[in-house]
Amino acid sequence: MNNKALGTQRVKRGMAEMQKGGVIMDVVNAEEAKIAEAAGAVAVMALERVPADIRADGGVARMADPKIVEEVMQAVSIPVMAKARIGHVVEARILEAMGVDYIDESEVLTPADETFHIAKGDFTVPFVCGARNIGEALRRIGEGASMIRTKGEPGTGNIVEAVRHMRTMQRQIRQIANLSSDELMHQAKEWNAPYELLREVHTHGNLPVVNFAAGGVATPADAALMMHLGADGVFVGSGIFKSEQPEKFARAIVLATTHYQDYGKLVELSKGIGQPMTGIEISQIEPDDRMQERGW
Amino acid sequence: MKIGILALQGAVSEHLTMLNQLDVDPVLVKNESDLTGLNGLIIPGGESTTIARLMHLNQLMEPIKLRAKQGLPMMGTCAGLIILAQHIHEQSDVHLGILNVTVSRNAFGRQRDSFEQLITVKGLEEAFPAVFIRAPLVEDIGEDVEVLATVDHQIVAVKQGQLIGLSFHPELTSDVRFHQLFVENCRSVNKNI
């Protein structure tokens, strides 16, 4: 290894580890990206429409116009992520060729493949994927994802689904850690999880990659709640730029993520920051319209 | 001996894992009061703009600067190196500004250019597995700065008195030698404690 080794597992997973304790914000142009960076975001997700608008507009949601992604990349010095459709290998290759720092193979976009996710291990650029439980998380890691996030229910401003997914994953990790080694194969079968990765969770007592919260974070208290539940950091999609005062909101959510156990500080952070985005009650969304059901 | 890790954002738990293998008491530093009684401070990798912003918002910038002037040993890895540096290429504002070097951010390129490489380090017998992630480079050094390692003739590790700055992430490996070096450094400064 006297020569440079690019795109190794350590380099890809390590990139996500550098984002820990931070907030990754959805932005749709250079101006929003600068606001996010100034507020202390650890990265921005460049896209054409935030999830709340994708939900409202309907139709097919695809990878963003490369021009928007390029604009954002030129505007900020923090890492830039972008979304590819589930299974859309070519959208992912286009984003990689542009030099995007992380690809989100995302259920927020309309899936391109109903069966197969992208073989992410083949890429030099790292991937993040959504998951609702440990089996889904380990299948994505098995395909080469270097970072996991809860799916939650994007664009709703309703934290309940992200909470459900994070609690489920944390509980299942504890269950795996407590199994005896001869029970692991059965559990792998029950949860449709790759056996070798399940064994790794059993040995170390945690996921082999960073696990962020996403899908419904709308307030500083929501961000702090997800950290309290064991998230390594937070994605905020519609929550920032659909709020009344994005600058204040962005800064408050960054600070709440750092000081999630300092309730006195959270009081100050939650004061006078204007209205959060309008939320949607999950039961109002038809099961077929729930983004979290996309992928498997 | 108490060694602090600045715990605002970034690879905090990875540094903690390293320090737990050495004979020291690690302290997570989020507020000024956490600095009391420290014998050394690690500034971890992460996003330098985020860490610096949080240092300002938490009134940590001046207290840490003051302690550096009083001789508190510090080690910065990747973003931590940028935060220690006196000059940042093409950027007018600096952060702690205490390490006499000019650094250039994301000097190797974007994430796809991130890499690992075995490097030779002054003071270490065997090569060190260095992990570079959107890493900075040291472009220029002051007279009192010693170069510890280079990659393709470019500087990636420096020491100036009690300060160590690294472009790469020893905390992402299982190789504890840099942390050992730093702790020995802290011990020699604090030999009366």
Nearest to A219 by CA among A135, A278, A133: A278
* Helix A246-258 × helix A263-270 angle, to 10°: 180
**pLDDT over 60 at B193, yes or no:** no
A256: helix, strand or coil: helix
Instruction: Kindly report the backbone phi and psi dihedral angles of residue A128, in degrees, each rounded to the nearest multiple of 5, phi listed first.
Output: -115, 145
A181 labelled as ligand-binding?
Answer: no
Range B152-168 average pLDDT? 97
Residue of A nearest to B44 (CA): A18
Amino acid sitting at position B190: N
Rounded to a whole number of angstroms, the distance between the first and last alpha carbons of chain B is 8
Instruction: Output phi, psi for A271, to 5 deg.
Output: -80, 135
Nearest CA in chain B to A34: B49
Q: Which two tokens stand for residue A180?
A: 């005896």
- If you measure CA to CA, which chain B residue comes closest to A15? B133
The Cα–Cα gap between B17 and A38 comes to 31
Please state, in angstroms and rounded to a whole number, the distance separating the CA atoms of residues A148 and B42.
27
Q: Which pair of tokens denotes residue A243?
A: 């709020």
Task: Tell me the CATH number at A175.
Answer: 3.20.20.70
Q: What is the pLDDT of residue A288?
A: 86
Question: Looking at the 3D structure of chain A, how many domains does it have?
Answer: 1
b/e code B90-126 from CB counts within 10 Å (16+ = b): eeeebbbbbbbbbbbbbbbebbbbbbbbebebeebee
Per-residue DSSP letter, B171: G
Does the distance separating the beta carbons of B13 and A124 come in below 8 Å? no
Q: What is the ipTM of this complex?
A: 0.94
Catalytic residue from among B78, B95, B179, B186: B78
CA distances from B2 to A132, B39, B70, B73 (A): 40, 5, 16, 12
User: How far apart are alpha carbons B139 and B89 in whole angstroms?
Assistant: 8
Residue at token pair 């006195």: A264
Using a pLDDT cut of 70, give the percent of chain B over it.
98
Interface of chain B toward chain A, CB-CB under 8 angstroms = 7-14, 30, 45-47, 49-50, 53-54, 57, 78-79, 105-106, 109-118, 129, 131-134, 169, 172-173
φ and ψ at B5, to 5 degrees?
-125, 120
The first and second tokens of residue B72, run together, are: 């508190």
Which SS3 state, helix, strand or coil, does residue A178 take?
helix
Structural domain boundaries enclosing A207: 20-211
Residues of A in contact with B117 (CB under 8 A): 1-5
* Residue type (1 letter), A135: G
Provide the shortest C-alpha distance from residue A170 to chain B (in Å). Answer: 18
DSSP B91: B
pLDDT tens, position by position, for chain A (296 residues)?
468 999 999 999 999 999 999 999 999 999 999 999 999 999 999 998 999 999 889 889 999 999 999 999 999 999 999 999 999 999 999 999 999 999 999 999 999 999 999 999 999 999 999 999 999 999 999 999 999 999 999 999 999 999 999 999 999 999 999 999 999 999 999 999 999 999 999 999 999 999 999 999 999 999 999 999 999 999 998 999 999 999 999 999 999 999 999 999 999 999 999 899 888 999 999 988 899 999 98
Q: How many residues does chain A have?
A: 296
The partner residue sitting opposite A40, judged by closest CB among B12, B50, B116, is B50
A270 located within any domain: no
Query: Is residue B189 pLDDT above 90, yes or no?
Result: no
pLDDT attached to residue A167: 98
Angle of the A220-228 helix axis to the A160-178 helix axis, nearest 10 = 10
> What is the DSSP pairing of strand A43-46 with strand A23-27?
parallel
Q: How many residue pairs from chains A and B have C-beta atoms closer than 8 A? A: 121
For domain B2-189, give the CATH number. 3.40.50.880
Six-digit token string for B190: 């604090």
Q: Do residues A292 and A132 lie in contact, with contact meaning Cβ atoms separated by under 8 Å?
A: yes
> Chain A closest CA to B193's CA: distance in Å?
32
Residues 183-242 of A with CB under 8 A from B: none
Position B50: which residue type?
T
B191 min Cα distance to partner chain A (Å): 33
Decide if pLDDT at B190 tops 80.
no
CA–CA–CA angle A12, A13, A17 (5° rounding): 125
Residue among A198, A81, A59, A228 nearest A133 (CA): A198
User: Using CA atoms, how far apart are residues A125 and A144, in angstroms rounded to an integer?
Assistant: 11
Q: What residues in A contact B11, CB-CB < 8 Å?
A: 14, 17-18, 20
In a mutational test of the A interface, the residue from B5, B8, B9, B103 whose CB has the highest number of chain A CBs within 10 Å is B9
A203 found inside a domain: yes
- Both tokens of residue A195? 């056996």
| pLDDT at residue B92, as a whole number | 86
> Which residues of A does the annotation mark as catalytic?
83
pLDDT of residue A166: 98
Q: Where are the domains of chain B?
A: 2-189
Q: What are phi and psi of B61, to 5 degrees?
A: -60, -55
Residue B112 assigned ligand-binding role: no
pLDDT at B192 over 80: no
Q: For residue A104, which phi and psi values (nearest 5 degrees)? A: -100, 110
Tell me the pTM.
0.96
Q: Which of A1, A6, A11, A247 to mutate to test the interface with B (most CBs of B within 10 A)?
A: A11
Q: Which two tokens stand for residue B13?
A: 């738990």
Handedness of CA B153, B123, B24, B176 (dihedral sign): positive
Average pLDDT of chain B? 95
